[in-house]
Amino acid sequence: MYLFEKLETKLGEKISTSKNIGGGSIAGTQKIVTDSGKKYFLKTGASNDLMFQCEANGLKELEKTGAIRIPHVFDVDKDFLLIELIESGHPGTDFFEGFGRQFAELHRYIGDSFGFYEDNFIGHSRQINQTTPAIKNNWVEFYLENRLLFQFHLAEKNGFATPELIKSFKALESKIERILSGSENEPVLLHGDLWSGNFLADHNNNPVIIDPAVYYGNREADLAMTKLFGGFSPSFYSAYNETYPLKEGHEYRENIYKLYHVFNHLNLFGTGYYGQTLSLIQSYL
């Protein structure tokens, strides 16, 4: 296989075995082992030539913080992403408490402005991080323009924007300043797509986060995503809040942050997410 020959040249040794690993919905995933016994995690078959490079850049950005375990990136190009293989263990009784504390520490890593130095991906969708100086220094404007309006216009293009959705979204748009008032405005590093499928416990019960869609934003956005598809223990949130207390009113703002991801699911997977999208919008009307 040409790709393996390419990897062997980069690694300086032969690949002795490879095994497909299930669970990859965006790309193919394999465990590869070299003649010396070194193990790697290989992703192939991305739908966009920039996808693996963006994922690698996100992992590297998260790794800079030293707050939580991140798979190390060994090599990347448009055809593959080669990262550290971290064998998953079973989360112990105190796993989520440690996870919450480490995730809070990750959110202490502050950037200069909202967004990121490149646009990247949320699932198969583009995530727009580049914007004007005025918007990148205003969280409300950034979140409205680069997150909600981007997904809303995509829904219009895809034929999912019914008259009721359009009317409701326009009403929400007029209230966004009030809805987000009182939340902190510090641009902190976000994983960007943290749900139950994007973390694991290693064999030492350490949390590991994978498959990021990083940008610098409001940390409430990261936490809201964790509540969409289950999988996080209450001890995760209590430990997080003990370590880095959230601002008053964060529960009220959860739905506005969930909306971005549910909008994205509507655009990626279709009308099965229409009702939830509309419900999140109308929760503020």
Mark residue 80 as left, alpha or beta (left: phi above 0; alpha: psi -120 to 50; beta: remaining): beta
* Active-site choice (94, 112, 193, 211): 193
- Spatial separation of the C-alpha atoms in residues 51 and 57, rounded to whole Å: 10
- Spatial separation of the C-alpha atoms in residues 130 and 119, rounded to whole Å: 6
Contact yes or no for 120/211 (Cβ under 8 A): no
Residue whose C-alpha is closest to residue 150's, from 51, 58, 263? 263
Distant-in-sequence, close-in-space partners of 38: CB < 8 Å, separation ≥ 6: 11, 13
Is 112 tagged catalytic? no
End-to-end CA distance of the chain: 56
- Spatial separation of the C-alpha atoms in residues 212 and 179, rounded to whole Å: 27
Q: Which residues are catalytic?
A: 193
